[in-house]
A = this chain, B = another copy of it.
Amino acid sequence: MNSELPVLKIGMLGCGVVGAQVARLLTQDADELSTRSLAKLVLARVAVRDISASREGLDPSLFTTDANSVVADPEIDLIIEVMGGIEPARSLILLAIENGKSVVTANKALLANHGDELYSAAEKKGVDLYYEAAVAGAIPILRTLRESLVGDHVTRIMGIVNGTTNFILTKMDEEGRAFEDVLAQAQSLGYAEADPTADVEGFDAAAKAAILAGLAFHTRVTADEVYREGISGITPDDVAVAKSMNHVIKLLAIAELTAEDHISVRVHPALIPRTHPLAAVRDAYNAVFVEAESAGELMFYGRGAGGAPTASAILGDVVAVARHIMKDSLGPRESDYADRDVVRIDEIRTQYLIRLDVADKSGVLAAIAQAFASENVSIQTVRQTGRGGDAELIVVTHSATEEALASTVKRLASMDMVRAVESVIRVEGVAQL
């Protein structure tokens, strides 16, 4: 039967860990993918940097170093971009679209920084631009936001979308180890890059947060609009304090509607209660927690990275796009009709945990409480632990703005009896008071 199907030729840009899996599956599962696609899918050309590298099981004649010739090839209808990075990926995708080809990409950095340009080009040219693999790997969160929840109103997304940092924080939590120690282990296991900045400083998660926020709130959001803090400052003491309060520290990507119908998009470490579904997401797993007006609370869990899981998401997109090409149709797009403002971090409201090293003498608690009150930051709980001449004071606030909190911290730091503001960490995943 499949031999009677029309042929749809695919060009691929890049053939690293993910590309190799995509190529393997396109070749191995050709018959079944064709049945599902209404077309015989043929991987026709693959652009790579180094043509001499051995690629097991793949015909060497597929490969070329001339990526421009792949996106210009009139026989090719669909381009898979898995080279990563901004350039030349951006120019190549724009050329492919200009040449009337639909594109499937896993390139979160590119979409989070140049999405507007790419989405507009695809819309203008009437081709599909699909990118399920760009956020949370095999978890189908983008299709869910764009299609399944299209009849609902998303109010909040909280995601663990970076596997490297979740692995590190899981080990810190479960084994009481220091950040640097676990990072070194993650690097030796291949979970972290030699230069871990993109992961541990939250850049990777911020790109994904921008994409999620854009789809959920029908607004274009770029990576540079996302407030970002990484996890390199999290200490074993922070983790221990969280644990003692039955919380766990996670690097969260949060996108939410504010009371004013603006949106807040941010990436930072936060304490969440151990009873929250996200708290159970361990090691390099990803999960995205979604709150919507009608659907209520939803969570989507799975592998956020790796060759095969990412390839699964890419192939799901390839089959969808292939069907559209065969039926001369197009999939639903991201939209920007809501065009909401992204609020500055100062205006965001959340709860905070502040850990202070204070002099252990009478009147300290009253003075500290007064400092919070002066900035209109309301205290939910205080815990004081004596330790020799000084004391540790842990304050959890009610919901307050970042601005008020920053003023409070400044005021605290200037007080004689405060020896150090040891940490300030947000608290999420609880009902806002």
* Residues of A bordering B, CB below 8 Å: 21, 25, 29, 32-33, 35-36, 132, 138-140, 143-144, 147-153, 277, 280, 292-303, 306, 308-309, 311-320, 323, 327, 329-330, 332, 335, 337
Contacts and interface: CB of A to CB of B under 8 A. Distances in A.
A147 B320 contact: yes
Closest 10 A-B residue pairs measured CB to CB? A151-B315, A140-B148, A138-B295, A294-B312, A298-B302, A295-B312, A299-B301, A329-B329, A294-B308, A152-B312
B303 A300 contact: no
Contacts of A313: 148, 295
Contacts of A308: 293-296
Contacts of A320: 147, 150, 332
A140 B151 contact: no
A175 to B, nearest CB: 17
A152 B303 CA distance: 14
A319 to B, nearest CB: 5
Contacts of A337: 35
B302 A299 contact: yes
Contacts of A301: 277, 298-301
Given A296-B303, A298-B303, 12 more contacts: A36-B150, A36-B151, A138-B296, A139-B298, A140-B144, A140-B148, A147-B320, A150-B316, A293-B312, A294-B309, A295-B308, A295-B312
Contacts of A152: 312, 315-316
A21 B295 CA distance: 11
B314 A151 contact: yes
A36 B335 contact: yes
A148 B150 CA distance: 16
Contacts of A317: 151
Q: Give the one of A139, A292, A297, A302 with max B CB within 10 A.
A: A302
Contact of A327 (B25, B153, B293, B329): B329
A296 B301 CA distance: 11
Contact of A335 (B35, B151, B314, B330): B35
A292 B280 contact: no
Given A36-B150, A150-B319, A295 B299 contact: no
B294 A151 contact: no
